């Protein structure tokens, strides 16, 4: 039944999320600053705390892994240096408590791990300082997706000050915080912000040229020679640049395009494969987002899609609310207040399903917003059609 395929990919793993490229393209400036901020570590001095921010898929995690690898390799030439780094993704850790427990357990051997509940927070911090002290030298703690810990952020205050507060003596710690959420930094307590964001680097979205360079390099390792039609990479780069400027998105699109060609048993990847792959990825992304929305989130999206179908978008929130009310009535759901629906519009915008356009009427009207679908109407329709609570509703 199974047979190895050998026409399209030489190594598709190269296009996957966890592949670490040997070199990062188009990030010279960011890497230069990042490297300079890490210089005290090589000098055996107290590390700076560094904060990286930018949207998803713009190379923050890759840049951190890349530089830390080099840092650790290059540190080997100095006998007086001992560098330990602990990488912690906060994605599933929604409080300081959970992050602290995770860090303790990372530093302990498996049989000494502590459970994730049952200790007072201070005790967990004390254990953490003990472990860090025991490791000694320079300890770099990378808190990726740090915004996920939300407002329960005491660890961001505790850790950077552990040395100043006398909890650490031997060990020098440095925090590298990474966030996809621009608002997170502003929401921090000013004291936390001063210490945690001592040095900052912003990663901007990639443009189509950047993405072409990234994809070209990666494609050389992933595909057999001459398998990609010449328009494939530029098209993947252009689509991803138009959307979020994310390298991850561009790489996913390139992989899906190749995968389609493979499934269709063609020998080359063509422009049509990219377009079809884009539709499929978009649909999957919307379906994924819809799973996390409440019924009223679905109804709000339904209302915007309904207006889009009638060519009545972009639309202001009041118009969308009226539409929403009649749809909710029709489907026998009690409508929510306009404020709640407004919150759903914001959420849908954040998820990348809606666009929010700003209009400025000057003094007379002030600033207001209009919303429209940021994804294909057909795709939204087919995704909504699969939502059980909307059964029987047709756009
Ligand atoms: P972020 O952490 O900002 O969300 P990642 O670092 O995970 O983004 O990057 C997403 C994907 O794109 C990874 O597979 C990464 O290897 C790749 N990537 C991002 N930036 C570059 C770059 N400048 N050069 C090569 N590959 C990159
Ligand atoms: Mg990341």
| Domain match, 67 and 148 both | yes
Residue nearest atom 19 of ligand 1, based on CA coordinates: 59
Per-residue pLDDT tens for 93-150?
989 999 999 999 999 999 999 998 899 999 999 999 999 999 999 999 999 999 999 8
Listed in sequence order, the residues at least 6 apart from 148 whose beta carbon sits closer than 8 Å to its beta carbon are 90, 91, 92, 93, 94
Q: Give the whole-angstrom CA distance, residue 379 versus residue 336.
A: 26
User: Pick from 304, 316, 319, 330: which is nearest to 367 by CA?
Assistant: 316
CATH number at residue 362: 1.10.10.10
In a domain, 4, yes or no: no
| Domain match, 274 and 386 both | no
Work out the percent of the chain whose per-residue pLDDT is above 90: 78
In a domain, 93, yes or no: yes
Tally of structural domains, the chain: 3
Is the N-terminal amide bond of 314 cis, ω within 30° of 0? yes
User: What would the two tokens of residue 107 be?
Assistant: 């530093």
How many angstroms is it from 93 CA to the middle of ligand 1?
22
CATH number at residue 258: 1.10.8.60
| Domain match, 58 and 197 both | yes
| Domain match, 280 and 384 both | no
In a domain, 341, yes or no: yes
In a domain, 185, yes or no: yes
User: Pick from 296, 285, 352: which is nearest to 320 by CA?
Assistant: 296
User: What would the two tokens of residue 302 be?
Assistant: 């339904």
Q: Are 144 and 61 in contact (CB under 8 A)?
A: yes
| Domain match, 349 and 332 both | yes
In a domain, 7, yes or no: no
Average pLDDT over residues 352-358: 92
Q: Give the whole-angstrom CA distance, residue 388 versus residue 334.
A: 17
In a domain, 23, yes or no: no
CATH number at residue 177: 3.40.50.300
Locus of tokens 């609310």: 321
Of ligand 1's listed atoms, the one at least distance from the Cα of 24 is 24
Of the listed ligands, the closest to the CA of 91 is 2
Of the listed ligands, the closest to the CA of 206 is 1
Is residue 365 predicted with pLDDT exceeding 80?
Answer: no
Give residue ranges with CB within 6 A of ligand 1. Answer: 17, 19, 21, 24-27, 54, 56-62, 214, 247-248, 251
Point out which residues pair with 9 in neighbouring strands. 223
Per-residue pLDDT tens for 381-395?
988 988 888 876 777
Mean pLDDT of the chain: 93
pTM for the full model?
A: 0.86
Residue nearest atom 18 of ligand 1, based on CA coordinates: 59
Work out the percent of the chain whose per-residue pLDDT is above 70: 100
Per-residue pLDDT tens for 219-273?
999 999 999 999 999 999 999 999 889 999 999 999 999 999 999 999 999 999 9
For 360, phi then psi, to 5°, come to: -125, 115
| Domain match, 178 and 268 both | no
How many angstroms is it from 191 CA to the middle of ligand 1?
31
Is residue 162 predicted with pLDDT exceeding 80?
Answer: yes
| Domain match, 222 and 354 both | no
Q: Are 395 and 331 in contact (CB under 8 A)?
A: no
Of ligand 1's listed atoms, the one at least distance from the Cα of 59 is 6
| Domain match, 257 and 300 both | no
| Domain match, 298 and 371 both | yes
| Domain match, 57 and 163 both | yes
Residue span of the structural domain in which 218 resides: 12-17+206-289
Of the listed ligands, the closest to the CA of 29 is 1
- For a ligand 1 pocket test, name from 34, 52, 57, 65 the mutation site with the most ligand atoms within 8 angstroms of its C-beta: 57
Domain termination residue (choose one: 289, 311, 344):
289
**268-303 per-residue burial string, b: 16 or more CB within 10 A, e: under 16:** ebbeebbebbbbbbbbebbeebbeebeebbbbbbbb
Of ligand 1's listed atoms, the one at least distance from the Cα of 64 is 6
Q: Looking at residue 382, what is its pLDDT?
A: 87
| Domain match, 46 and 146 both | yes
Domain termination residue (choose one: 145, 172, 202):
202
Q: Assign 199 a pLDDT band (cuts: 50, 70, 90).
A: very high
Domain termination residue (choose one: 289, 319, 354):
289
In a domain, 73, yes or no: yes
Is residue 62 predicted with pLDDT exceeding 90?
Answer: yes
Is residue 195 predicted with pLDDT exceeding 90?
Answer: no
Q: Give the whole-angstrom CA distance, residue 208 versus residue 351.
A: 22
Of the listed ligands, the closest to the CA of 254 is 1
| Domain match, 253 and 159 both | no
In a domain, 6, yes or no: no
How many angstroms is it from 135 CA to the middle of ligand 1?
30
């Amino acid at each position: 039944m199974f047979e190895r395929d050998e026409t399209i990919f030489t190594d598709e793993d190269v296009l996957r999320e966890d592949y670490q490229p040997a070199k990062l393209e188009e990030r010279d400036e960011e890497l230069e600053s990042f490297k300079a901020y890490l210089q005290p570590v090589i000098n055996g001095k107290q590390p700076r705390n560094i904060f990286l921010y930018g949207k998803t898929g713009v190379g923050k995690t890759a840049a951190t892994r890349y530089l830390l690898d080099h840092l650790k390799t290059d540190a080997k030439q100095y006998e007086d240096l001992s560098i330990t780094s602990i990488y912690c993704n906060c994605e599933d850790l929604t409080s300081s408590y959970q992050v602290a427990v995770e860090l303790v357990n990372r530093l302990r051997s498996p049989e000494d791990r502590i459970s994730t509940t049952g200790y007072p927070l201070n005790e967990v911090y004390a254990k953490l300082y003990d472990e860090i002290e025991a490791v000694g030298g320079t300890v770099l703690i990378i808190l990726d997706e740090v915004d996920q810990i939300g407002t329960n952020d005491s660890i961001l205050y505790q850790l950077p000050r552990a040395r100043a507060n006398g909890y650490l003596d031997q060990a020098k710690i440095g925090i590298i915080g990474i966030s996809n959420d621009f608002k997170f930094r502003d929401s921090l307590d000013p004291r936390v912000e001063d210490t945690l964001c001592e040095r900052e680097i912003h990663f901007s979205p990639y443009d189509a040229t950047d993405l072409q360079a990234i994809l070209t390099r990666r494609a050389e390792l992933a595909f057999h020679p001459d398998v990609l039609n010449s328009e494939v990479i530029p098209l993947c780069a252009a689509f991803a640049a138009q959307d979020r400027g994310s390298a991850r998105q561009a790489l996913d699109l390139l992989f899906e395009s190749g995968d389609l060609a493979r499934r269709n048993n063609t020998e080359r990847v063509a422009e049509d494969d990219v377009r079809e792959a884009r539709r499929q990825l978009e649909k999957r992304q919307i379906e994924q987002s819809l799973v996390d929305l409440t019924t009223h989130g679905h109804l709000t999206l339904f209302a915007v899609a309904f207006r889009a179908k009638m060519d009545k978008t972009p639309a202001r929130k009041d118009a969308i609310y009226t539409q929403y009310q009649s749809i909710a009535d029709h489907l026998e759901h009690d409508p929510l207040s306009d404020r709640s629906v407004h919150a759903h519009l914001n959420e849908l915008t954040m998820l990348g399903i809606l666009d929010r356009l700003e209009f400025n009427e000057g003094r007379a009207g002030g600033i207001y917003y209009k919303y429209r679908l940021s994804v294909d109407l057909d795709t939204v329709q087919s995704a909504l059609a699969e939502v059980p609570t909307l059964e029987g509703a047709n756009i």
